[in-house]
Amino acid sequence: MSRKVLIVMDYDFEKESKRPLMMKIIREIFIWALEIAGVILLAYFIVNYTVEKTDMVGVSMEGTLFDGESIIINKFSYRFIDPKRFDVIVFKQSGKEHSYYNIKRIIGLPGETLQFKDGNIYINDTILEEPMNVEPMINYGLAVEPITLEENEYFVLGDNRNNSEDSRFASIGNIRREEIIGKAFIRLSPFNFIDKLNLRQEIIDEESKR
Question: What positions carry a catalytic annotation?
Answer: 60, 104
The Cα 127–Cα 173 span in angstroms is 21
Beta bridge partners of 37: none
Helix ranges, 46-193 (H) = none
Contact 73, 183 (CB under 8 A): yes
The Cα 180–Cα 187 span in angstroms is 18
For 16, the enclosing helix (H) or strand (E) is: helix 13-45
In order, the DSSP letters of 149-182 are --TTEEEEE-SSGGG--STTSTTT-SEEGGGEEE
The Cα 169–Cα 140 span in angstroms is 9
The Cα 99–Cα 126 span in angstroms is 34
